[in-house]
Amino acid sequence: MRAVEIAEIILAGFTKHYRIFQSITAKAPIAFGNRDWQSIQSISSMRIAQYDARVNETIELLKTKQRIQPLNECLWRTVKEAFQERLVFHPQAELAETFYNSVFCRLFHRRYFNNEFIFVVSSMKQTSTVPVEAEYRSYFPVSDGLKPTIRNIINHFGFGAPFTDLDGDIRKLVKAFIKQAPDTHHQRHQMRFDILHSPFYRNKAAYIVGRVVSLSGIQPFIIAILNTEERGIHIDALITQSSQMRVIFGFARAYFFVQTHAPSALVGFLNQLMPSKTAAELYNAIGFHKQGKTEFYREFLNQLESNVEQFIAAPGTRGMVMMVFTLPSFPYVFKVIRDQFSESKPFGRETVLARYQLVKNHDRVGRMADTIEYSNVVFPLARFSDELLNELQSSIAGSMVIENDLLIIKHLYIERRMTPLNLFLQTCSDEDAKGVMADYGQALKEMVSANIFPGDMLLKNFGVTKHQRVIFYDYDEVQYLTEMNFREMPRQSAVNYLECSEVSSAPQDVFPEQLCTFVLPDPKLRALFLEAHPDLAGVAFWKQAQTDIRQKVMKHIYPYPQEQRFCL
């Protein structure tokens, strides 16, 4: 039967994708054990790119073997049914649905993007889902004792090299747990450990994720493990606070490498530990960004159905490259590339697309917001006021189409909504201003350590999260730090060189001293910034950062407070 053959070709394409995804992910533990930090970045980019390669490969097979165009509606209804039948007991059913959607949506017109032909609504709601127990193993200290059980847990993972002082690390771990979770029952006969089968690898760290189940309830935890030249493999920290766990799994960090046979079960377990995290956020965090994209769109559709509020232009200074709008009750912004840029932006649309892709593939070090990229997104036209619609038509007419009661945006990015830093500073307390200005400088340093030069460092291009963490979100001028030329400002006679703007320079030239002049004209904010980071106003810092990168010196950015670390 032709419909079955088509369904099986698509499922085979997904199976190949998932096998390659897992094989790439399996390289991370090897790189961790060998301290091969350069490989971590390269395999991350490789893993992101291979999804589209498999989709395109599957499409070519369908075209050559099945001659599937133009769309035969009756045939494709049957194809979807046949595909769905094969997912009833499939351990990656939700990911296979998304792969199917990707194939179909690249083959046919968006008028068919509905649940009749694709999985707008997941079939997993009607079929068996994999239980969370499939992704973790339970350990019982009552049998072997507390410290031997912890040793068994850690030794189970291997990590590619022995611990320098595992017994000492375990003592610190137990002491930290008693201090951080004093209400948990700590007697060995009153608890069990539920530990996810695989560690989570990212940058220079590995993380064991689990929970303690005791008579007093459930206590989630994350154990951070480092492999350094100075100390070898060792436990660096214990994290038990939910807010700190959410930062580790945050939207501004690179995707984890973690082996999983049943992603829905893994996400289910993580959601039990961090209930405020959405399914989209968790799928993104574990590297399944295409599934995160699917889950996000379902959340968006549910949001539209739950109220009748209108879209508005996003609060903050209007961007010269992006037109940004938002739905007030939905914590995200929609960014569309403008048809024309300001004269101060000497580049075009293709450059912007490339720079957003650069950030997508790069280590975001907890300081650059993740983006979700969509094509042909359909919005209800009635949700846009005449004022906003006029602004959209004057700025992004080339990227939008109005069809009857629908507004279709041809291409857009979606990011987590934050309070723009310049707006935050207008109303915050002096204490908060001091804190965020220090964190703004720290954000710059952490991006620089990852070979990212943000370009436009104006405060309006940074956001403040609800935890008052400063995050960069405007990527149209992002470049690699090593491509820039950092220069001293020429000294002017009878003129304050900090106020001199008429300086001969090439496009890649940067004058760090101007950071205080043009980015921080407010004397109060400038003083707060320089108090915390005086080195950022000098050329030496930037040149040293370039030298470190060229010499492959990779700094580790800790996603948890320094005071949590055992070595301090």
Q: For residue range 412-434, what is the model confidence (pLDDT) as tens digits?
A: 999 999 999 999 999 999 999 99
The radius of gyration of the chain from alpha carbons, rounded to an integer in Å, stands at: 25
Domain positions in the chain are 2-127, 133-299, 304-418, 420-563
Contact 219, 211 (CB under 8 A): yes
386 is catalytic: no
Contact 421, 462 (CB under 8 A): yes
User: Is residue 502 scored above 70 in pLDDT?
Assistant: no
Residue 348 marked ligand-binding: no
pLDDT of residue 501: 46
Residue 13 marked ligand-binding: no
Residue 268 marked ligand-binding: no
pLDDT band, residue 494 (cuts 50/70/90): very low
User: Is residue 207 scored above 80 in pLDDT?
Assistant: yes
Among 169, 236, 363, 370, the one annotated catalytic: 370
CA–CA dist 282, 250 (Å, integer): 9
CA–CA dist 490, 487 (Å, integer): 9
**What mean pLDDT, rounded, does the chain reach?**
92
Q: For residue range 129-169, what is the model confidence (pLDDT) as tens digits?
A: 788 899 999 999 999 999 999 999 999 998 888 899 999 99
Residue 382 marked ligand-binding: no
List helix spans (H) across 384-450.
386-395, 421-427, 430-449
Q: For residue range 504-521, what is the model confidence (pLDDT) as tens digits?
A: 567 889 999 888 888 999
Residue 164 marked ligand-binding: no
Tell me the mean pLDDT in the region 235-250.
94
Residue 547 marked ligand-binding: no
Report whether the peptide linkage leading into residue 148 is cis, meaning its omega lies within 30 degrees of zero. Answer: no
Residue 245 marked ligand-binding: no
pLDDT band, residue 500 (cuts 50/70/90): very low
User: Is residue 497 scored above 90 in pLDDT?
Assistant: no
Tell me the mean pLDDT in the region 175-187.
84
CA–CA dist 345, 340 (Å, integer): 10
Q: For residue range 260-300, what is the model confidence (pLDDT) as tens digits?
A: 999 999 999 999 999 999 999 999 999 999 999 999 999 99
pLDDT of residue 343: 85
Q: Which CATH number fits domain 420-563: 1.10.510, 1.10.10, 3.40.50, 3.30.1490?
A: 1.10.510
Tell me the mean pLDDT in the region 453-472.
94
The percentage of the chain sitting over the pLDDT mark of 70, rounded to a whole number, equals 96
- Torsion sign across C-alpha atoms 534, 540, 542, 546: negative
Residue 318 marked ligand-binding: yes
Q: Residue 207: helix, strand or coil by DSSP? A: strand
